[in-house]
Amino acid sequence: MGNKLGKMVKLKNIICILTISLPLFADLPPIYKKDFEQNSYSLDVEKNAQLFSISGNRLGISIKDISIGKPSAIAIKNMKLLSPEDKYALKILDANKKEIFMIGLGDPFYIHAQHIDFEDRDFFGGYVDANIDIALPFDADISYFVLLSQENRFLKKISEIKVK
């Protein structure tokens, strides 16, 4: 009897919580499947954008060049959302250090190469410096870039640089 009473009390508490919570969710916009299928930030290739050329390695990044112009196909391709498969990410912050964008970089700092006489190994490779071109909306207040590493879906800050 006591076990059934405990289950009834738990059920009553759950119903009470749902009754209180439902009006809070009523004002939220609906979530559509296409929202989850997006894998890149939208950027108009016909409009000018802020173009950044970033050089870096697994220990940090630096800005090589900043310009205004029409984004290249490579810069637009690099504007993909962070996914669990990305080893590194680039967080873009405004002047108040509020996050504007989070870009997944993949693993641009490690190169894999198959090599003769290393057939007994799966891969032969090493860490390299990489150049990353990105395009951001012209009107975005870009003030900081933060390089992050991702392991088991946890992000760890590697370096932060000020843009202006």
Q: Per residue in 140-156, pLDDT tens?
A: 899 999 999 998 888 99
Tell me which residue has tokens 């894999």.
112
CA dist 48 and 46 (Å) reads 7
Amino acid (1-letter code) at residue 104: G
Q: pLDDT tier at 159 (50, 70, 90 boundaries)?
A: very high
CA dist 84 and 152 (Å) reads 8
3-state class (DSSP) for residue 27: coil
Amino acid (1-letter code) at residue 48: N
Tell me which residue has tokens 């003030």.
143
CA dist 29 and 146 (Å) reads 31
- pLDDT score for 32: 47
Tell me if 49 sits within 8 A of 71, measured CB to CB. Answer: yes
3-state class (DSSP) for residue 3: helix
Span 49-82, pLDDT tens digits: 899 999 999 999 999 999 999 988 888 888 888 8
Phi, psi (degrees; rounded to nearest 5) at 153: 65, 15
How many CA atoms, within 13 angstroms, populate the side-chain half-sphere of residue 112? 4
Identify the residue with better confidence: 41 or 38. Answer: 41
Tell me if 148 sits within 8 A of 93, measured CB to CB. Answer: no
CA dist 149 and 82 (Å) reads 11
Tell me if 39 sits within 8 A of 80, measured CB to CB. Answer: yes
The structure tokens listed for 118 are 């290393």
| pTM for this entry | 0.69
